[in-house]
Structures are given as C-alpha cells and as structure tokens.
Amino acid sequence: MTQQFNIDTVEHAATTPDTELPWAELGLKQNEFEEIVKVLGRRPTAAELAMYSVMWSEHCSYKSSKNHLRQFGEKVTEEMKKDMLVGIGENAGVTNLGDGWAVTFKIESHNSPSFVEPYQGAATGIGGIVRDIISMGARPVAVMDPLRFGAIDHPDTARVMHGAVAGIGGYGNSLGLPNIGGEMVFDSVYQGNPLVNALAVGVMRHEDIRLANASGKGNKVVLFGARTGGDGIGGASVLASESFDDTKPSKRPAVQVGDPFAEKVLIECCLELFKGSLVEGIQDLGAAGISCATSELASNGDGGMQVELTSVLLRDPTLTPGEILMSESQERMMAVVSPENVEAFEAVMEKWAVEYSWLGEVTDTGRLIITWNGETIVDVDPRTVAHEGPVYDRPYARPEWQDALQADTFRASEAGAGLPATGEELKAAVLELMASPNMCDKSWITNQYDRYVGGNTALSAPDDAGVIRVDEETGLGVALSTDANGRYAYLDPYTGAQLALAEAYRNVATSGAVPMAVSDCLNFGSPEDPDVMWQLAEAIRGLSDACMELGVPVTGGNVSLYNQTGSTPIHPSPVVAVLGKFDDVARRTPSGWRNDADGQAIYLLGTTRDELDGSEFANIRGHLGGLPPKLDLAAENTLGAILINASRDGMIDAAHDLSEGGLAAALSEMALRYGVGARVALDDLCERDGVDAFTALFSESQARAVVAVPRSEEVRFNDMATARQYPVVRLGVVDTETSALEVQGLFELDLAELREAHEATLPKYF
C-alpha cells in the first residue's frame, strides 16, 4: 500500500522535539499534553497523540469521576461479592445465576451522538452495548432503552424522538434481541441534550466467561468484523468531552453509522468461536476503536503487543495511521488467538463470511508497538494509555441555590393552591395525569420494538420489569428494570440517586424476582462546574451507600458528563438498572389483573405521606421545588421480601409498584393493563395515614405497591404482612363487570375514557 502522507515515526519524533502538534484540537489540555511528553520522554508521534487524546478523554478515562466511582468497589461486603463472578472494570460485570449459568448486563449512554444524528446515534448505542456483552463470552438475550427527551411540544423533540426510537428498533430488531423495557421522560432540561441510554443483558455458562486480555507470548492478534472507515473519528473525545456550543459547529460531525446485519453475523460468529474455545481474549471496538482495544488488551494481559497497522482492512484507503487508530467504525472485534487455533478461527470466519485480518502478536516486552510498513509509529507502555490517564479532583460545592430550591415546597407555592378535592375534580386530575407526557401510554414507542423474538420473554413493558427465561428446562431466568427521576435528583442528588435504586429494586421485586446486581449510567452536566460536580459526587455517594444497605453490588456502568446546552446542565440523571433472579419465571407477577380475577381483593402495601414535592402532579402544574419523598431502604427491603414471597407462594395474581403518579397512576395502569375494572375506597387509607383523598391518590411516597389477592389467599397474605409488621390496607376488589375504575364516594372513571386519554398523547405529537 502506498501513502501520500508523511509518516511520523518514533525515530522522527525523537529528533524533532519542537514540532507543533494539534493537541488542543484533539481535546487535550496543556497539562495533559505535558504529561504525555513526560511519560514518553519525548514528544508523541501523531499516532501516539491520537491514541492518548481519545483514551484520556472524559468518555474513556473517567478522569473527573474516577475518584468518586471508587466507592462502588469499596462499599461492598463479602456477602455482596459471593455471586459476583466478574466485577467492575471489565467490559461488563458477571453475576452467578446458579445451575452453572451466569448473567452479564450493562447500561451505557449514547447521548451526544443521538442529538446530532438521532437514528444512527441511538442505533449504534444498542450496537455498542451488545458488543460489550458478547465480549464477555455471553449470548445477548435482551435490550432496554431509558430515554429522556425535551419538551413534548418543542419542534425539535419530534426529530430526536422519531430518530432515536426508529434507530433503537431498527438495530435491536435486526439483531433478534427483544426490547423488554425502558423509560420515557419529557422535560425541557433535555431539549438540547437528550439522554439515550441503552442496556443489554446476556447469559452464558460459567466456563464460557471471556475476559479482555492478551496473554501468551506468540499468540496472534486479529481484527474481525466490519472494515475500518472514516466514521466516528474522534467521536469519543470530540463529541463527549465538550458540550454543544453554537459557535463551534465543527465539533458536531462524525457520528458512527451502524450495520445491524454485520453485528448479527458477528454475534453468531463470536458464539461459535466461544463454543470451540478458539479465542484466548476478546475485546469489542467501541469508543476510541483500535487505540482502546490494543492498549486495553495489552495492559490487561502479559503487557506487550506488536501490531502492523497497514494490515487493517479499510473502507477508505486514504485514512492516516492516526485516523485508523481513532476510528469508531462499528461492528468490529479484536481477539487473541493461539497459533494452533488459527486455522479453526479462520474456518468460523469463512462460514459466516466475516472479514478478518491478522494484525500482529502478543509479546512480553511490556510495550505496545504499532508499526506502519515496518516503521515504528507507536511505542508506549499500554498502561499509560489505558489505565494511567489523568485523574482530576474537581472542586465541588453545594450550589448556593440549593437551599432556596428545597424551601420552595409545592404546598406553599402558587401552583399548589386550589388542589382538586371534590370527586369531579379528582376524576379530572386522574385523567389529566394519565394523559400527561410522562405518564401516558408508551406503546407508540414499544410497538416499534420486537418484544417476542427469542421466545423467552415472560414480561415486558408496560409491566414493572422485563423478564427473560434463561433455561428452558428449569425456568431459571432474570428480571430487569431501569429507573431514574431527574427531578428528585435535582432537589437532592444524594437521596435522588438512592430513590432511583429503590424504584428499580422495587420494580424487580414486584415482578417476583430477587434483586441481585446493579449497573448504572450517570448522566450529568459539566464536571468543570462545581455545582454539577457536587451533584455527581452526592449521587455516587448516595447510590453506593444504598447499594451497600440493600446488599446489591454495582457490577459495571458508565458515566456521561458534559450533558448541557451552553451553561445550562440537565437535571442530574443517575439511571439505575437492577437485575433480579427467578428460580422459575413461570411464577412472575404481571402488573394488571385479568378478566378471570373477578372479586380478587386489592391491597395497598406501605405508608402514604404528604409527599408531592417533585411529583408528576407538581410537574404538570409546572412546579419543581422542595424535597423528594422520604427514602426508607429497610422498608423497601421488607416490601421486596413480601412481594417475592407472595409470588413464590402463589398469594398474588398481580402487582404494581407505586412511583411517579402515585396510587392514581398505579390503579389506572393496573386496570388498563388487561382492560378490567375495579371498585376501591380510600377511606381506610386516609384515616390510617392521616391524609386526604387528593394526597392518597397523588403522593409519591416510596416503598409502596398495589397487589391483587385471590379470595382464598387473603388470610395468608394478611398474616404474612402482619408478621413482617408491614402496613397493609384493603382498598377494594377487582370488578370484571363495570369496565370502570370506581373510587367509592368520589368518582367512577370509565376505562374506555381513561384509555382514550392515556393512549392519545404520543400519537398526537408524533
């Protein structure tokens, strides 16, 4: 191959120390560039500069959050570690499911690309997280997508919403992965910075667990999958490390383009490689492409690797070495193969018609050496690229405005005046709530996703958790839920992050599964703003404290910073995913009662307080202030145990957690799930908890759930709740005759009317 450009070799760099390098354009700060020169003992070559710049970006190095993220590894008991097979730091954590099965899951952000080019940004978000799962040796079995967009009626929201949803569907559907849940939130704080997070979960046998390391001198390094092109060059550092600023349009290019067909073939091809034990180590190519894969593989293994860069198969032959190293072309994997398996490896590639090229081999020199036609262009200690990047102790301080914000309660505000009190007013308020952007029916989105493929989906949206069967013989399976409430976290980031965990934990338990592990995607503004840095520090401290108390370890995750437009950050949005385990998914609890449930008793578990600050009701009224609902992790733990035991012992036929929208939302959603009505009364609840009907319906007090109990199980159910000293109150009964939600003495809401209001919102705007 011939090149028109001059190659900046290590030899050349050593003799030309004063050459000007575009480190600032590549997103490096002066002190970082100086550090690189110090590490190398000379100026970096152009190729080395490209590698360091992407690997030391916020996105890849976690330089602003690393000091805080340590708590996830520190606040862990031995008990929490017992089922953790692979912890934080690998492509994704791995948890023991029993019977020789293991599960791996992870959530990541693809926020900035999804604003620039919503379809491809969201699609490649799914593609990237799925490759992380494959890299662990697992078969991906499902995906989820927590989404946050700008105001529903803003003209740009439709562009992002249509593109992101179609991208997630277009990519995930083509991979044969059921999409089993997620979130949808509209809030103007996300207008210039939507959040598109993606979760993938995979399963494997214990013996199939693979790690990203290159060990064994003489083993071969191979790059396979799609060819390397010019897409996404510098995407990691350029897109994710600087916020959008209208004066710098040049910072908005280069979103990667996805090819789901190539990824589907790659999945099957990798699983065949794992089955034949044909790879020693494997790593997907995501952010920072070959720079990341080579430096991470080398530094996690024996510490040395030699690679000839002209061996990389290209889509665009004009790419420079630096561009090849930085390219974020999708659907690529790098593996380490022992010489005796080379032939078998190639046979698998031929079968699936996957292109591959042998780049080099593992060495014991402790150096990552990359050559271009034999001339050395990179000679680095891979650890300095992958793991020893800069770490910042960013200054942070509680924002000056926080006190005033917390003092501004909904009840005392103008928006909180004249609250609904009569039956008619309450009925209208329930209708308004259920038609509101965040509470309306989401099937406009979920109907664009395949939830059935694979034949193992036992529950999916709108149920509380997505449930996937893992073992068809025994019914062993997993449940997953993702949650975050940016408003709660804005009012109090410490508690807000904990409330996100509490809700995801509650959702998983509501489905009947035992919560086991956590993955988090921390979406925040600029860490260079002390207010934002305080939010981030508080959220991490809160989440790690709560994980410890609930006994569920964080096994992996992602931090997404600089989510802001100009100087306005998004609400702190710590999205928490909880994974739970089912001994048999056949006993999962759906979120609504069916038409064979006539006369079943409807109970509310938990205590209702006057907690409307940050609520959906306050949001509809345009108010945000005060303190989020009180967190009680001991109560969450007991509630979870009751819901799991009730499922195991067949005491409940339906269960739904109370979260945004409170009891009004829960009862409405349970009735709408299968179109079956109910008759309830609030008097006992109001008297016991000392609240009025409005508060009973709209408060967002935590640690609550509604369940439907067959008549024959009522005594047992009550006994169990009493034995655990958990508050329980009988609200009423399922009524298959009325086709209405009747709140006695207040109102009767026809289900057809409720459904029409609930389902009309998204189609109206999109």
Partner 1 sequence: MSSELPLIGDYSPATGAALSGARIGVVTFPGTLDDRDAARAVRLAGAEPVSLWHADESLQDVDAVILPGGFSYGDYLRAGAIARFAPMMSKIVDAAKSDARLPVLGICNGFQILTESHLLPGSMIKNDHLKFICRDQVLRVENNNTAWTTQYAAGQEISIVLKNQDGQYIADEKTLDALEAEGRVAFRYVGWNPNGSRRDIAGITNEAGNVVGLMPHPEHAVEAGYGPDHTGTDGLGMFASVLTTLVGGTK
The yes or no reply on residue 167 touching partner 1 (CB under 8 A) is no
Sheet order of strands, 514-523 included: 457-459, 466-469, 477-483, 573-582, 514-523, 554-560
Q: Contact 702/502 with Cβ under 8 angstroms?
A: yes
In this complex, which beta carbon is closest to partner 1, that of residue 508 or of residue 585? 585
466-494 burial, b for 16+ CB within 10 Å, e for fewer? bbbbbbeeebbbbbbbbbbbbbbbbbbbb
Structure tokens, 46: 């152009």
| 457-465, 534-542, 553-561, 744-752 -> range binding partner 1 (CB under 8 A) | 457-465
CA separation for the pair 104, 544 (Å, rounded): 20
Torsion of CA 634, 535, 662, 460, to 10 degrees: -90
| 5-13, 71-79, 173-181, 505-513 -> range binding partner 1 (CB under 8 A) | 173-181
The yes or no reply on residue 151 touching partner 1 (CB under 8 A) is no
In this complex, which beta carbon is closest to partner 1, that of residue 333 or of residue 749? 333
In this complex, which beta carbon is closest to partner 1, that of residue 400 or of residue 473? 473
| 44-52, 402-410, 465-473, 614-622 -> range binding partner 1 (CB under 8 A) | 465-473
In this complex, which beta carbon is closest to partner 1, that of residue 318 or of residue 447? 447
Pick from 475, 681, 716, 750 the residue near partner 1 by CB under 8 A. Answer: 475
Structure tokens, 251: 């910072």
The yes or no reply on residue 261 touching partner 1 (CB under 8 A) is yes
Q: Quote the least distance from Cβ 452 to partner 1, whole Å.
A: 5
Pick from 259, 492, 613, 636 the residue near partner 1 by CB under 8 A. Answer: 259
The yes or no reply on residue 448 touching partner 1 (CB under 8 A) is yes
The yes or no reply on residue 67 touching partner 1 (CB under 8 A) is no
Q: Is residue 617 classed as helix, strand or coil in its secondary structure?
A: helix
Query: Is 162 a residue of the active site?
Result: no
Amino acid at 540: I
Pick from 469, 487, 506, 679 the residue near partner 1 by CB under 8 A. Answer: 469
| 280-288, 445-453, 522-530, 563-571 -> range binding partner 1 (CB under 8 A) | 445-453
Q: Quote the least distance from Cβ 356 to partner 1, whole Å.
A: 16
Q: Which residues pair with 370 in a beta bridge?
A: 307, 378
Q: Please, what is the end-to-end C-alpha distance for the chain in angstroms?
A: 50
Q: Quote the least distance from Cβ 313 to partner 1, whole Å.
A: 19
Residues 6+ apart with CB under 8 A from 249: none
The yes or no reply on residue 472 touching partner 1 (CB under 8 A) is yes
CA-to-CA separations, 764 to 153, 440, 441, 619, 760, in angstroms, rounded: 10, 11, 12, 20, 6
The yes or no reply on residue 329 touching partner 1 (CB under 8 A) is no
Torsion of CA 8, 9, 12, 18, to 10 degrees: 50
| 167-175, 214-222, 571-579, 664-672 -> range binding partner 1 (CB under 8 A) | 167-175
Residues 6+ apart with CB under 8 A from 25: none
Pick from 87, 176, 253, 710 the residue near partner 1 by CB under 8 A. Answer: 176
Nearest to 356 by CA among 232, 256, 220, 152: 220
Catalytic-role residue among 12, 68, 110, 162 = 110
In this complex, which beta carbon is closest to partner 1, that of residue 20 or of residue 473? 473
| 60-68, 140-148, 261-269, 278-286 -> range binding partner 1 (CB under 8 A) | 261-269
| 17-25, 220-228, 335-343, 442-450 -> range binding partner 1 (CB under 8 A) | 442-450
Structure tokens, 316: 């665009």
Number of H helices, E strands in the chain: 28, 28
The yes or no reply on residue 101 touching partner 1 (CB under 8 A) is no
Q: Quote the least distance from Cβ 256 to partner 1, whole Å.
A: 17
In this complex, which beta carbon is closest to partner 1, that of residue 486 or of residue 592? 592
Q: Quote the least distance from Cβ 557 to partner 1, whole Å.
A: 29
Pick from 39, 166, 257, 344 the residue near partner 1 by CB under 8 A. Answer: 166
Query: Is 206 a residue of the active site?
Result: no
Q: Quote the least distance from Cβ 471 to partner 1, whole Å.
A: 8
The yes or no reply on residue 553 touching partner 1 (CB under 8 A) is no
Q: Quote the least distance from Cβ 273 to partner 1, whole Å.
A: 16
Q: Quote the least distance from Cβ 447 to partner 1, whole Å.
A: 6
CA separation for the pair 161, 167 (Å, rounded): 10
Q: Quote the least distance from Cβ 489 to partner 1, whole Å.
A: 32
Nearest to 515 by CA among 472, 473, 537, 483: 483
Tell how strand 101-109 and strand 93-98 pair up. antiparallel
In this complex, which beta carbon is closest to partner 1, that of residue 201 or of residue 518? 201
Nearest to 450 by CA among 139, 652, 171, 698: 171
Q: Which residues pair with 356 in a beta bridge?
A: 224
Binding mask 568-607 toward partner 1 (x if CB under 8 A, else -) reads ----------------xxx---x-----------------
In this complex, which beta carbon is closest to partner 1, that of residue 83 or of residue 231? 231
The yes or no reply on residue 175 touching partner 1 (CB under 8 A) is yes
Pick from 265, 428, 627, 681 the residue near partner 1 by CB under 8 A. Answer: 265
The yes or no reply on residue 453 touching partner 1 (CB under 8 A) is yes
Q: Is residue 322 classed as helix, strand or coil in its secondary structure?
A: helix
Angle at 12 between CA 8 and CA 18, to 5 degrees: 95
CA atoms within 13 A on the CB side of 739: 4
Q: Quote the least distance from Cβ 169 to partner 1, whole Å.
A: 5
Question: What values do phi and psi take at 199, rounded to 5?
Answer: -120, 140
The yes or no reply on residue 473 touching partner 1 (CB under 8 A) is yes
CA separation for the pair 181, 142 (Å, rounded): 9
CA separation for the pair 139, 131 (Å, rounded): 10
DSSP label of 7: P
Pick from 181, 260, 304, 437 the residue near partner 1 by CB under 8 A. Answer: 260
Pick from 459, 546, 604, 751 the residue near partner 1 by CB under 8 A. Answer: 459
The yes or no reply on residue 441 touching partner 1 (CB under 8 A) is no
The yes or no reply on residue 352 touching partner 1 (CB under 8 A) is yes
Pick from 450, 549, 683, 750 the residue near partner 1 by CB under 8 A. Answer: 450
The yes or no reply on residue 454 touching partner 1 (CB under 8 A) is yes
CA-to-CA separations, 44 to 9, 136, 374, 516, in angstroms, rounded: 9, 33, 18, 45
The yes or no reply on residue 349 touching partner 1 (CB under 8 A) is no
Residues 6+ apart with CB under 8 A from 700: 611, 612, 614, 615, 616, 629, 658, 659, 660, 661, 662
In this complex, which beta carbon is closest to partner 1, that of residue 320 or of residue 457? 457
The yes or no reply on residue 760 touching partner 1 (CB under 8 A) is no
Q: Quote the least distance from Cβ 456 to partner 1, whole Å.
A: 7
Residues 6+ apart with CB under 8 A from 351: 269, 272
Pick from 451, 506, 679, 758 the residue near partner 1 by CB under 8 A. Answer: 451
Task: Looking at residues 655 to 684 of the shown chain, list those that interact with partner 1 (rule: CB under 8 A).
Answer: 674
Q: Quote the least distance from Cβ 177 to partner 1, whole Å.
A: 9
Please give, one letter per residue, the 3-state secondary structure of 237-270. Answer: HHHHHCCECCCCHHHCCCCCCCCHHHHHHHHHHH
Residue ranges of E strands in 504-572: 514-523, 554-560, 564-565, 568-569
CA separation for the pair 366, 735 (Å, rounded): 71
Q: Which residues pair with 727 in a beta bridge?
A: none
Q: Quote the least distance from Cβ 448 to partner 1, whole Å.
A: 5
Per CB under 8 A, residues contacting partner 1 are 166, 169-170, 173-176, 259-262, 264-265, 352-353, 446-459, 469, 472-475, 584-586, 590, 674
Which residue numbers are catalytic? 59, 110
